Amino acid sequence: MAQVGREVDDFLMYFILMEKIPVGSRTVESGRLCCMSEESYLQRVTGDQDPAPSLSVTVIEENILIDVDVNVLHPLSQRQAALLLAIHNSTERLNCFLERGLLEQAVQAEVGQRVLVEHEQKLFPALIHYVGNTLDTSTLLPPVYFGVELEGEGEGRGNMDGSYKGVTFFKCRKSSGLLLPFNKVIFSGAPPPDDAGSTLSGSVNPGDKVMFFVEDSLKRGIVVFSSNQAATGFVEVLPEEAPSSELLKIPLDSIVKEENATPDHQSPVKDGKPAGREEPVKVNVRERHLEVDSLVQIQYKGDELAFGIIRWLGYLPQIDDVMAGVELEEDKGCTDGSWWGHQYFFCPPRRGLFLKLKACQPDTRFLSSRDCSPKSLESPKPSRDDSHRVPGKVPPLQGAAAVDILEGDMRGIQGHCNSCYMDAALFSLFSCSSVLDSLLFKPSSLPDGNIQQTLREEIVNPLRKKGFVSADSVMNLRCQLMEKSQCPSFTTSEKDPEEFLNLIMHRILGADPLLKLQSEGQRVQECYCYQIFIEKQQEMTVPNVQQLLEQSFHHSQLKLAEVPSCFIIQMPRFGKEYKMFSKIVPSLELDITDLLADSPRECVVCGNLATLECAECFKDVILSDHGLKQYCLVCSKQVHSHHKRKNHKPTPLKIPEGFLKTPNKILRETLELFAVLSIETSHYVSFVKYGTEKGSWMFFDSMADRFGSENGYNIPRVTLCPEVATYLAAPLNDLMNQNPREMKGVAKRLFCDAYMYMYQSKRMALYK
């Protein structure tokens, strides 16, 4: 993106206010943008002991400092913040952020892209010539605008030739340029230049989908009457949101025709509902394999295919054929699931399409076997039948069996439509470990049999038995999660792994929390994943997971209330881009003995039973370079006799009563690493330890390769990566000096891109 004007601090973090904030006698409106330095953010989060700390942020437009509850702030990238700042109304800005789709399109928009723009309450085709700021120094972050050149009917209706306040940002025809915020631009559905005029003022026919403005608001509707349009210059349109059969008379030059495949018949509306029939859906033999949630492809325009999911099957008014309501993968539709004022299903705007069921074909990109040859595409075998289910109990894979079943192409879980976060998480948790198998079988307090059965019989069991899970099985799970979570983007948008795990474990299956954390004087807190927050220290250049966990627990004054069967740890990074450490060394074994609240511990000096702990000795490298510091009474007196430690205040440890009477050998409580999730450029992959040998590591990528282009499908791949063990055994100095680009195989993605570590206690898993 082009940037003009003063430079913006690269070390600022940006947020949008999700709620109004009272500040003295005034109120800071929701939708305002705020910022703070990364350094201040890290110090505040790691230094504050409140469960929901507040942050001191600067309101960008007003340049004032306010304290805000962290839960009211939503993080933004610098690019998102700059685009949102161009929208001056904070309420409108917040609405644009919540819709997300348009903002995501704006972030990816490029110079040379054809778009539609809103101008003078009409839509005109245009060409993007410039993306950047306009020398606006009135705020801490220069807002970003789109410089466009109007085409077709819009030519000569602009207000510039590419120059603004004496500065030339781009060049275009006289009075044909505009500088606009992104919410005045439609990035998809723009007509090609040759057809620009016809889509604006050319011939339209009954049944055509059109866009138009009513009182500054963009509307969509169906043309129902257009006779003698050349003479009158008007057409009659039924708006999609119409509560009755009232038609609107719209000037012909104020509409834009949507060419995106409309239904074959229109029918009258009665009492706000379609005058249709309610009867069982009759499907012929050829169409029996298609049902609700089936993945389908549609002949869209000419040879172009569109892909989607059947959300509804039934009859529409005055149409004899069985109709399908399809949610498309892209904005190529013409509805949000409504037809003539009646909502048949729900999907984002412009993702829905109604068409005859016989016009739908199974999506040929997804195969149910390892055969991915072009021949298999000619006669696709639909995988949404009972053959993809594997009932019963299938144990996790280990050793040679894991290699035999999982290694190779079309192995693992097939990725599709931003599913890598889920694919990598499921492969990590279930391919070679049984620590969370209770989720598959254990009755929960919030039972959802369908989702649990899908997870068990369509994903975990096929993965362990056949080594392959087709994308439609994962999509089936995503559809069910979307319905339960009421989040329409669950089948299309990328999520975070922890968001998926929290949803399925807590809200869907009602599983017991994996972690119970206790802070001094506070109640036990329960959670499923633990996020590490620490202050960056100069001496910690290449830390290991053990050090990071101890640092985080020390700064947050936390203890484990009990030994977890599964410990999922998120690394200290903020978003998918910022990383606190360039490399992190995986700790193959995690010693949590000293992190337990009421467990006997060893004196770090003599090894006897410890009775005191000193938080202030934690950073004393003379005693040891890491680890919590606890002592017996004698050693504590000796250690704190030093003049530098005289002011320390050791606290008593809780010792189990039986241990005081008959002291026993103190056993170390350890967890073993079984999987790591990594992320690079918004794509998640997985490392799994599949055996006891040091080199028993495998790497999984659900979208490692692709067959075909737009109409093709992703090829998941599992490869062995014994080179990981070589770097794990290397001296720390060698690892510090190792150039990531020169690391062999996929080792760089484990050491440099780690996002989430997964540990298990096989002893505790027996009781969970």
Average pLDDT over residues 182-208: 58
What does the angle CA 231 – CA 234 – CA 235 come to, to the nearest 5 degrees?
120
590-596 average pLDDT score: 86
Q: How far is CA 534 from CA 38, 46, 71, 624, in A?
A: 12, 5, 19, 19
**Helix 101-108 and helix 78-85: axis angle, to 10°?**
110
CB 322 within 8 A of CB 360: no
Residue closest to 239 by CA, chosen among 260, 265, 263, 218: 218
Question: What distance in Å separates the CA atoms of residue 160 and residue 177, rounded to the nearest whole number?
Answer: 5
Q: Which range in 131-140, 148-157, 534-543 is most confidently predicted, on average pLDDT?
A: 148-157
Rounded Cα distance, 261 and 360, in Å:
13
pLDDT in the model for residue 285: 37
Question: Please, are residues 38 and 11 in contact by the beta-carbon 8 Å criterion?
Answer: yes
User: Sorting pLDDT into bands at 50, 70 and 90, what band is 618?
Assistant: confident
Query: In the predicted model, what is the mean pLDDT of residues 95-116?
Result: 84
Specify the range with the lowest mean pLDDT, choosing from 264-273, 454-463, 511-520, 741-750.
Answer: 264-273
Between 336 and 701, the higher pLDDT residue: 701
Residue 472's pLDDT is what?
A: 86
Q: Which helix (H) or strand (E) is 81 found in, with range?
A: helix 78-85
Q: What is the pLDDT of residue 412?
A: 95
- Give the separation between CA 227 and CA 205, rounded to whole angstroms: 9
- Residue 361 or 679, more confident: 679
Q: Catalytic residue positions?
A: 420, 683
Give the mean model confidence (pLDDT) for residues 229-256.
Answer: 60
Mean pLDDT, residues 593-616 taken together: 83
Over residues 47-53, mean pLDDT: 55
Judged against a pLDDT cut of 70, whether residue 768 lies above it is answered with no
> Residue 254: its pLDDT value, please?
64
Banded pLDDT at 6 (limits 50, 70, 90): very low
Averaged pLDDT of the chain: 78
Task: Give the rounded percent of residues in the chain with a pLDDT score beyond 90.
Answer: 21
Sign of CA dihedral 275, 281, 282, 284: positive
Residue 106 to residue 87: CA distance in whole angstroms: 13
Residue 252 has pLDDT above 80, yes or no: no
Q: What is the mean pLDDT of residues 9-34?
A: 86
Give the pLDDT mean for 129-148. 86
CA angle 248-183-118, nearest 5°?
45
471-481, pLDDT tens digit by residue?
889 988 888 88
d(CA 543, CA 751): 11
**Residue 109 reports pLDDT greater than 50:** yes
What whole-number distance in Å separates Cα of residue 100 and Cα of residue 95? Answer: 9
Query: Which domains, and CATH codes, for the chain?
Result: 12-94 (2.30.30), 202-259 (2.30.30.30), 274-362 (2.30.30.190), 515-586 (no CATH), 612-667 (no CATH)
Can you tell me the distance from the alpha carbon of 101 to that of 113, in angstroms, rounded to the nearest whole number? Answer: 17
In tens, the pLDDT along 330-382 reads 877 767 787 766 788 888 777 888 888 877 888 776 644 333 333 333 333 33
Q: What is the predicted pLDDT for the residue at 675?
A: 96
The whole-number pLDDT of residue 366 equals 63
Please report, for residues 22, 23, 252, the alpha-carbon distance to residue 231 in angstroms, rounded to integers and kept in the order given.
Answer: 58, 60, 11
Q: What's residue 316's pLDDT?
A: 76
Distances (CA, A) of 678 to 382, 681, 684, 688, 749: 32, 10, 6, 11, 7
> Is the pLDDT reported for residue 226 higher than 60?
no
CA distance 89 to 216: 15
Q: How confident is the model at residue 698 (pLDDT cuts 50, 70, 90)?
A: very high
- Where helices occur in 698-754 by DSSP H, the ranges are 723-728, 732-737, 747-751
Question: pLDDT-based confidence at 717, cuts 50/70/90?
Answer: very high
Q: CB-based contacts of 217: which residues, under 8 Å, 6+ apart?
A: none
Give the amino acid at 39.
E
Task: Return the pLDDT at 339.
Answer: 73
What pLDDT score was predicted for residue 277? 46
User: Is pLDDT larger for residue 644 or for residue 257?
Assistant: 644
DSSP 326-347: EEESSS--SBSSEETTEESS--
70: its two tokens: 């962290």
pLDDT band at 216 (very low <50, low <70, confident <90, very high): low
As a three-state string, the secondary structure of 378-427 is HCCCCCCCHHHCCCCCCCCCCHHHHHHHHCEECCEECCCCCCHHHHHHHH
Output the pLDDT for position 403.
Answer: 94
Question: What's the confidence (pLDDT) of residue 340?
Answer: 66
Backbone angles phi, psi at 136, to 5 degrees: -80, 110
Q: What is the pLDDT of residue 418?
A: 86
What digits encode the pLDDT tens for the residues 551-575?
A: 888 777 788 888 899 999 988 764 4
Q: Give percent of the chain above pLDDT 70.
A: 75
* pLDDT value for 280: 54
Q: What is residue 659's predicted lDDT score, i.e. its pLDDT?
A: 66
Q: Quick one: pLDDT at residue 506?
A: 81
> What integer is the mean pLDDT of 591-612?
83
733-741: average pLDDT = 85
Question: Is residue 4 pLDDT above 60, yes or no?
Answer: no
